Amino acid sequence: MYSQKVLDHFRNPRNVGRMDNPDGVGKVGNPVCGDVMVMYLKIKNDIIEDAMFETFGCGAAIATSSIATELIKGKPIHEAQNITNKAVVEALDGLPPAKMHCSVLAEEAVKSAIEDYEKKRNEGEGKPAESA
Ligand code: FES
């Protein structure tokens, strides 16, 4: 059985949709069930100002990505980077054992979006300064 929180986030997902001009994007999938999750982040001064997601998958994957966006919004990236699927599950008041892997997808999506942001930032720093 799903908790009320899981049902709530599944029925009324928060921060759902594609973000315009995100600073980091993470796309992850589970090859076993075929579900896919995309996480978009807006980051300023190392703080996650906004997070949005698109999930093509099961109800638990939608609920875990929805709560994950709420957990990381307003957090410094070094904290968001340490998000665990356990924290996601706890925030949802639990998940059935067969659905634990859905929360792993949420953890991986957040981490992958932060990695993408850091990669882009490092590439930006490596570029020569533009001449006027
Ligand atoms: Fe695959 Fe939920 S069944 S993410």
Model confidence pLDDT, tens digit, residues 59-111: 999 999 999 999 999 999 999 999 999 999 999 999 999 999 999 999 999 99
Could you tell me the residue ranges of all domains in the chain?
4-121
pLDDT at 1: 87
Spatial CA neighbour of 111 closest among 77, 64, 70: 77
Q: Residue 19: CA atoms inside 13 Å, Cβ hemisphere, count?
A: 21
**Contact between 84 and 94 (Cβ < 8 Å):** no
What percentage of the chain exceeds 70 in pLDDT? 95
Angle at 82 between CA 86 and CA 114, to 5 degrees: 120
Best mutation site among 6, 9, 27, 35 for ligand 1, i.e. most ligand atoms within 8 A of its Cβ?
Answer: 35
Ligand 1 centre to CA of 121 (Å) is 31
Query: What whole-number distance in Å separates Cα of residue 94 and Cα of residue 73?
Result: 21
How would you write 85-125 as a 3-class SS string?
HHHHHHHCCCCCHHHHHHHHHHHHHHHHHHHHHHHHHHHHH
The answer to whether the predicted template modeling score (pTM) of the entire model surpasses 0.75 is yes
Q: Is 102 a catalytic residue?
A: yes
Q: Which atom of ligand 1 is nearest to the CA of 33?
A: 1
- CATH architecture assigned to 4-121: Alpha-Beta Complex (3.90)
